[in-house]
Amino acid sequence: MRKIIVLILILIASSAVFAADGYTEADLTTGDWSFISGAFEGGSYSGSFRQTKTVAGSTRSFVSTGRIQITSGYGIVWYTEKPYASILAVGKDVLIQKIRDGQPTHLDMAQNPVYTQIATTLECVFCADFSVMSDTFRTWISVDGDKWSLKLIPKNKAVSSFMESMVLTGSDTFESLTLNETTGDTITYEFSDMENREPTDEELAVWSL
């Protein structure tokens, strides 16, 4: 009984913290959330990204930049250009990595539930699949004028073991995604020049590496 009471107090406390931050818990499967889903309209799009990784306890941050391609039915490809060229393709069943001019390496996603969950998470986030998102996360929302922010708390134990929360921000377009890790490290992706378009043959060829 004491453990149950402690758990209830922890949940109440965490809810109060998010409320104090301006977030309110929301059910994305009900109500009108078109002002958010409009930022993800279309199944395939591309743009530029800037990734900033901050390590807990350090004043240093690590920055990389490049392009991102999200293709419906395939997955997400990160084309990192700086500080060095690399390609990372993440789909539901496969992860492909190619660094500089090296040979591509493959990981069987089906044999790794953590990577499978990450791929599913990214796909539901970028495609604004609210039903899957609600199954995977507890969702909190904050709205300030035309700006919105979603805080996602993972329900899956495998994911929550390394990711404390994910925060998405935007207005009429998707602007940023921040991963808050349980170690205290953070990874922030800032997106720009996002456009809804079908992938080129060259972009699709990445999935055949």
Average pLDDT over residues 154-158: 83
Residues 111 and 120: their CA atoms lie apart, in Å, by: 15
Q: With respect to CATH, is domain 23-208 assigned 3.40.50.300?
A: no
Q: How far apart are CA 206 and CA 209, in angstroms?
A: 5
Q: How confident is the model at residue 37 (pLDDT cuts 50, 70, 90)?
A: low
pLDDT above 90 covers a percentage of the chain that reads: 23
What per-residue confidence (pLDDT) applies to 66? 97
Taking the alpha carbons of 88, 166, 61, 56 in that order, is the dihedral positive or negative?
A: negative
Percent of the chain topping pLDDT 70: 76
Contact 143/23 with Cβ under 8 angstroms?
no
pLDDT digits (tens, 9 = 90+) for 112-126: 666 666 666 666 766
DSSP summary character for residue 4: H
* pLDDT tens column, 95-110: 888 998 888 888 776 6
Count Cβ atoms below 10 Å from residue 55 Cβ, excluding itself.
14
